[in-house]
């Protein structure tokens, strides 16, 4: 099974050292979360892709109510053109933190933006998938430098995010990492059952995002484990314990991949955690 990394840091200094390490350790993906007022994760993804060699790089996720669909699609196409086959376009219907919402929506109606999300998502996909290799290629709507194939798309979140992913033939990511998260494998199963293949993604791809602490021992991990402002540790223990727990979650959810959000409080601890976990996952039979 593939294991990726969800970057929960808000400091670019940490990201530019953690991403190359994840690349070297063999992690499958490196996703960058969005925490206003940090820079756009799409911009950070371009930096990370340039600092790494093989790992897939993406966003988790663009808070799409605040981004123009066509412009965002072309920005992702640019990254795919530069880093062919390595870009993940992760988008979400979530809104930003309340104190930033007023500035972000620029006096637009928040409820109307939420209601319009499915249409905005469809518009985004229309432009993102409008590449020269598409049978429905529309040159008038295209960016002249678009890649031959579009980047991979992941609809991230619960509820309608799964339904939209299934209807439009995109990847789907279920979050089991928030204090409000519900342990609900049925959502991912429903996505698979309802999946409508697309040209760019013939088969479903279900990803489970999990946050937690990985330490030298179970006792040490539980001693330092504490929730963040919005994230909650759902996997806590030594590297071996975490690997077994992730394997159990993979089987329980039928997930194709897991994305690990490390909640360690310092960059050094986060680096050590990723090293330990990579070694333990390589030894865990149910994660191979």
The pLDDT of residue 10 is: 80
Q: How far apart are CA 102 and CA 229, in angstroms?
A: 21
For 224-235, write each residue's pLDDT tens digit.
999 888 899 999
What are the domain boundaries of the chain? 2-287
Cβ atoms within 10 A of the Cβ of 85, count? 11
Prediction pTM value: 0.94
Model confidence at 30: pLDDT above 60: yes
- In this predicted model, what pLDDT tens digit does every residue of 212-222 receive, in sequence order? 999 999 999 99
**Which residues share a beta bridge with 63?**
92
pLDDT tens-digit map of 126-152: 999 999 999 999 999 999 999 999 999
Helix-helix angle 12-25:267-283, to 10 degrees: 20
Q: Is 17's pLDDT higher than 90?
A: yes
Residue 286 has a pLDDT of 63
The pLDDT of residue 287 is 61
Q: Tell me which of 35 and 165 has the higher pLDDT.
A: 165
* pLDDT (0 to 100) of residue 102: 61
Q: Which helix (H) or strand (E) holds 102?
A: helix 98-105
Number of C-alpha atoms within 13 angstroms, CB side, residue 165? 33
pLDDT digits (tens, 9 = 90+) for 35-88: 777 788 999 999 999 999 999 999 998 988 788 899 999 999 999 999 999 999
**Is the pLDDT reported for residue 284 higher than 80?**
no
Instruction: Give CA–CA dist 48/68, Å, rounded.
Output: 23
Q: Using the predicted structure, report yes or no on whether residue 100 has a pLDDT greater than 80.
A: no
Task: Give, in words, the CATH class of 2-287.
Answer: alpha beta
């Amino acid at each position: 099974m593939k294991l990726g990394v969800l970057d929960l840091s808000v400091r670019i200094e940490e990201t530019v050292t953690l991403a190359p390490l994840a690349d070297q350790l063999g992690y499958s993906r490196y996703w960058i979360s969005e925490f206003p007022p940090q820079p756009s994760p799409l911009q950070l993804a371009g930096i990370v892709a340039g600092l790494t060699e093989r790992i897939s790089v993406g966003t988790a996720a663009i808070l799409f109510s605040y981004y123009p669909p066509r412009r965002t699609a072309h920005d992702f196409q640019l990254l795919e053109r530069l880093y062919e086959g390595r870009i993940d376009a992760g988008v979400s219907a979530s809104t930003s933190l309340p104190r930033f919402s007023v500035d972000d929506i620029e006096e637009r109606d928040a409820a109307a933006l939420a209601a319009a999300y499915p249409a905005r998502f469809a518009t985004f996909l229309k432009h993102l998938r409008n590449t020269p290799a598409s049978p429905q290629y529309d040159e008038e709507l295209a960016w002249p430098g678009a890649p031959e194939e579009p980047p991979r798309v992941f609809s991230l979140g619960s509820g309608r995010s799964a339904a939209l992913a299934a209807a439009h033939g995109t990847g789907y990511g279920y979050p089991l990492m928030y204090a409000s998260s519900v342990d609900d494998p049925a959502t991912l199963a429903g996505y698979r059952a309802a999946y409508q293949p697309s040209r760019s993604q013939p088969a479903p791809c279900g990803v489970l995002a999990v946050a937690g602490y990985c330490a030298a021992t179970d006792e040490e991990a539980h001693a330092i484990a504490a929730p963040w402002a919005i994230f909650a540790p759902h996997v806590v223990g030594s590297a071996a314990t975490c690997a077994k727990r992730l394997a159990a979650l993979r089987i329980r959810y039928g997930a194709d991949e897991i994305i690990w959000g490390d909640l360690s409080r310092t960059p050094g601890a986060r680096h050590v955690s990723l090293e330990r976990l990579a070694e333990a996952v390589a030894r865990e039979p149910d994660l191979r």
